[in-house]
Structure 1
Amino acid sequence: MASSSVLPFSSSFRSWFHPCLASKITFTRRTNSLSIVTRSSLSDNSALLQAAKHTAIRFFNALNVMHEAHSGCNCRVQCCCIETSNVDSYVKSGMVVGFGAGHASDLAIHYLGQQLKAGALKDIVGTPTCVGSASVAAKVGIPLEQYEGSSKIDVAFSDADVIEEVTLSAIIGRRKMMGEESIIQEKTILGAAEKLVFIVTEKQYRSDLDGSIPVLIQSFNWMETAEEIDDLFLGDAEVWRRPSVGYAGPLGGDFPMVTKEGHNVLDVIFTSPIIILADVANCLEQVDGVVEHGIICRIPCTAVIASENGLRIIDNNLILEAGRA
């Protein structure tokens, strides 16, 4: 891996082919500065609260819906063109619910706790992805159980750092992990749920993804793994080992982060837009020494997108079915 803090970039459009891909990927060069929105920087509390309440209570069973919300908020929920009144619940009494990490997830957990206390829901059990969500759930009186390999999870919701338009492929783990947080544990629980819902702001729902993708690698011979990833995305991304404290250079300084499973974390920082996030995930999974990464590609998956004008609900399974029709 290059020893300088900035890796070389090409000055024009750059295409490359890698054996792990079935087709060529093109990264388009942009000259503007890099802007990264993370789960910990969400600030639109009112819009996110509406999204959290919607996720906790309401489910729209069709794509492209225009429907007046009946959950106590006056916002109009807009999803393009097909009108329907077929509104079901995301969360029903007796369900096991996976609790993701982030500000919006905390709001949804709070709201579920209020519904339990009011008697609107009963016998809800939460499965937390991290200590933070477990703490919030415990404070509002939601019973918890730890995830086991065969545990049933009816629905899970979580924040995402950014979501790819249409596919709803998501990136998690950009923010600094605290204590017992684990990308591996979070992805396992979210992946085990029968239904997965991401709660994001409209700024995080994008077609031109860039910025950091966290990659967990084996600590032994980590440099070789980092160099292979560097070569894989040469000219389009920088590879930095994440430090445990403060700021450090590309090598992670004297105190690199070590996860609770004993792995180092590389931040693969794309400065060119990524056309297909799933292709990046496939490439990373072919690299020796890579244990896990922060990309989630899931069908079916639903995104609840909060904005000042209301909510937009998108289901990638319905998009896929519409494309086949």
Structure 2
Amino acid sequence: MSEMDATTMMKQMVGKAAADRVKSGSIVGLGTGSTAAFMIASLGERLKSGELKDIVGITTSFQGDVLARQHGIPLTTLDAVDHIDIAIDGADEVDPNLNLIKGGGAAHTREKIVDGLADRFIVVVDSSKLVDKLGSTFLLPVEVIPMAYSPVMRAIEKLGGKPQLRMGVKKAGPVVTDQGNFVIDVKFDAIDNPVELEKTLNNIPGVLENGLFVNVTDLVLVGEVKDGKPSVREISK
């Protein structure tokens, strides 16, 4: 088995392991990203087989909308429900306290709303996403209203961050989020206090939300490939 095949199979295993934790009758937050896509596909298979019944999904991105419909998962909105039973989503970094950096897909604002409302939030990642300290390998995304991106970048620099406007791939100009905003990616030399930094960034006028997810994760499912064989392990508080 090639390394690429093993990695793909590992993501499928992690996605299925998370989907298997969804019970019939649940309202499910459906995350964004490659591993979450396998989770959505697995949920669809469980519905089709009759193993799972009467679930509805709430997506965190347009990508999730498309995938859920492709796999026959009924969708609802936050206007129509008063709670979310379980949310499943990926992450770009996970620290030992199960705090996260998310936003590689520019969907972190909707993800934080959905994941934060869930009674149980499960994160699906591969082992490369585990870090000793947030910001070690991944820039911190900050969603900002377009008119405010310049003053927000100056404010972030005063906090010691090195901001850069995320530019589109196969698109001229900046990345535009599902809310019609820009994303600033920020390099901090060290994120020693993610709780305080999350609040400080969100208090800058023009910032909608940032990619620090603090004290919201209940369980992390980690996919690994050892000796060419994929496996899944659990990390919980």
Scaled by the length of structure 2, the TM-score of the pair is 0.85
Choose 1 or 2 for highest CA Rg.
Answer: 1
| 2:155 aligned partner | 228
| 2:235 aligned partner | 314
| 1:119 aligned partner | 50
Unaligned runs of 5+ in 1: 1-40, 58-89, 248-253, 317-325
| 1:263 aligned partner | 181
* Paired AA for residue 290 in structure 1: V
Match of 1:298 among 215, 227, 230: 215
Scaled by the length of structure 1, the TM-score of the pair is 0.64
* Paired AA for residue 203 in structure 2: Q
Shift of 1:158: 0.7
Shift of 1:131: 1.7
Residue identity (%): 28
Q: 1:276 to 1:312 in 2, by over 3 A?
A: farther
Q: 1:277 to 1:246 in 2, by over 3 A?
A: farther
Contact map agreement 1:163 1:206 (CA 8 A) in 2 = yes
| 2:98 aligned partner | 168
Structure 1 segments of 4 or more deviating over 4 A? none
1:285 paired to 2:202:
yes
Give 3-state SS (helix, strand or coil) of 1:267's partner: strand
Match of 2:38 among 96, 104, 107: 107
RMSD: 2.5
Contact map agreement 1:169 1:278 (CA 8 A) in 2 = no
| 1:184 aligned partner | 109
| 2:164 aligned partner | 240
CA distances 1:167-200 after superposition (whole Å, capped 9, x unpaired)? 111111124x4xxxx4322211111111101100
Shift of 1:218: 3.0
Contact map agreement 2:116 2:216 (CA 8 A) in 1 = no
Paired with 1:201 and 1:260, the residues of 2 have a C-alpha distance of 26
| 1:216 aligned partner | 143
Match of 1:275 among 168, 192, 199: 192
Give 3-state SS (helix, strand or coil) of 1:274's partner: coil
Shift of 1:273: 4.2
Give 3-state SS (helix, strand or coil) of 1:197's partner: strand
| 1:53 aligned partner | 16
Q: 1:227 to 1:304 in 2, by over 3 A?
A: same
Unaligned runs of 5+ in 2: none
CA distances 1:256-292 after superposition (whole Å, capped 9, x unpaired)? 344343433211023x343343333133123333221
Shift of 1:56: 1.2
Higher helix share: 2
Paired with 1:132 and 1:147, the residues of 2 have a C-alpha distance of 18
| 1:6 aligned partner | none
Across the two proteins, how many residue pairs are aligned to each other?
Answer: 228
Paired with 1:91 and 1:113, the residues of 2 have a C-alpha distance of 12
Q: 1:104 to 1:268 in 2, by over 3 A?
A: same
